[in-house]
Amino acid sequence: MTGLRGGAHGGGAYDDRTYGDGTRAVRAGLPEPAKNEPTLPGPVFAAHFHLPGEPTGPYTYGRDENPTWTHLERAIGELEAPGKDVQTLVFASGMAAISAVLFSQVRTGDVVVLPDDGYQALPLVREQLTAYGIDVRTAPTGGNAQLDVLDGARLLWIETPSNPGLDVCDIRHLVTAAHAQGTLVAVDNTLATPLGQRPLELGADFVVASGTKQLTGHGDILLGYVTCADAGLTASVRRWRKIVGAIPGPMEAWLAHRSLATLELRADRQCANALAVAEALRGRGGVSGLRYPGLPDDPSYKIASAQMRRFGSVVSFTLPTRARAEGFLAALRLVDEATSFGGVRSTAERRGRWGGDAVPEGFIRFSAGAENPADLVADVLHALDESAA
């Protein structure tokens, strides 16, 4: 395929560690400029590729590889591990990526450690793993409690910051303990994005994420990815993708790549907005359990500021009752009541309505968008007052 830059493992000119995040984001994964070609080649819609004679790659059948994925995979790899030789695999969703790592790496009789306060579909994954004879142990994200249940584990799964509780754990510390006894470590990097945290640099074997959230940031596509530096581990995840076929469409992959160019701009505004909202909510009547890893008095702040470069767009807090939380959500004008997070338009929801998370009835997960900070803060405070009346 013409126009693809770098070797088989990426390693392009723009993953240089000396460039700033914005520079790397706008150039990530782009092919070498070629006369009369677009900067970012359009989506390649192909179920199969011309393939006379011996069936050799890179592009044979659309479930295995697609040039639009290749560009996006290089881009994500450049952001997750600048200057490093890594491979990225894109998936149809974050859950497809998570399942691909877990189900490709563990066998009957293995021990897996999962967070007990992570993404709401993890309990379903746990049930499925257990049904296959895998011993699943769980631990909370904060306080490095994973260490107590790590003994003999094949794989440690970390989600930091955790969704929706926003606890943070020390990735490097846990990786060191895990590797000392031969345990693999996967980190769900959804909340942080690669511009907020680089788990591979902290020693993790796999970084896994939903690209549905802040990575792509417009609330219009589902996507997932796995990035890994080990060729053997990558091959086993790639094989799983081929078996299960949980692949993204070329249009989704292309839209995701297009969105990466603004990742730094979005992340900077959204993080600033999240901090502004958290600061505005701090100490307000009726608000308890306020969490944002970027607030200096947050329990997550110390570790977060040591291992993260941005603190994400999500703020969580609890209002006294379910009715007060519903009234608050209804009174917001700039914030849509919706699930998911990380989009350019602020969203919020009463997380307890799903029944999956261990949270109080009045618990709100708030995702700061890219609105002007003064407008957003004013809207939030107005809704808080109105719901109290």
**Beta pairing partners, 156:** 113, 185
Nearest residue (beta carbon) to ligand PLP:
94
Does residue 119 bind ligand PLP (CB under 6 A)? yes
Using CB under 6 A as the binding rule, whether residue 205 contacts ligand PLP is answered as no
Q: How far is the CB of 136 from ligand PLP (least distance, A)?
A: 17
- Choosing from 95, 134, 156, 169, the residue that interacts with ligand PLP (CB under 6 A) is 95
Token duo for residue 275: 């901090």
Site size for ligand PLP (CB under 6 A): 15
- 3-state DSSP assignment of residue 36: coil
Note whether 93 and 224 are within 8 A (CB). Answer: yes
Where in 159-178 is the site for ligand PLP (CB under 6 A)? 159, 163
Which C-beta is closer to ligand PLP: that of 112 or that of 383?
112
**What is the smallest separation between the CB atom of 173 and ligand PLP, expressed in angstroms?**
21
- Out of 66, 105, 160, 190, the only residue in the binding site for ligand PLP (CB under 6 A) is 190
3-state secondary structure of 145: helix
From the number of C-beta atoms within 10 Å of its C-beta (0-12, 13-18, 19+), residue 231 rates as exposed
Q: Establish if 234 lies at the interface with ligand PLP (CB under 6 A).
A: no
Residue 222, interface with ligand PLP (CB under 6 A)?
yes
Of 80 and 159, which CB lies nearer to ligand PLP in the complex structure? Answer: 159
Q: Is 188 near ligand PLP (CB under 6 A)?
A: yes
Backbone angles phi, psi at 278, to 5 degrees: -60, -45
Spatial separation of the C-alpha atoms in residues 293 and 295, rounded to whole Å: 6
Nearer to ligand PLP, 95 or 134 (CB): 95
Copy the structure tokens of residue 314.
């999500």
From the CB of residue 31, how many other CB atoms can be counted at a distance below 10 Å?
A: 21
Among 41, 224, 248, 343, binds ligand PLP (CB under 6 A): 224
- Here the tokens at position 266 are 């979005």
Q: What are the residues whose beta carbons fall under 8 Å from the beta carbon of 175, sequence distance 6 or more?
A: 185, 202, 203, 204
348 lies in the site for ligand PLP, by CB under 6 A: no
- Interaction site with ligand PLP (CB under 6 A): 93-95, 98, 119, 159, 163, 188, 190-191, 210, 212-213, 222, 224
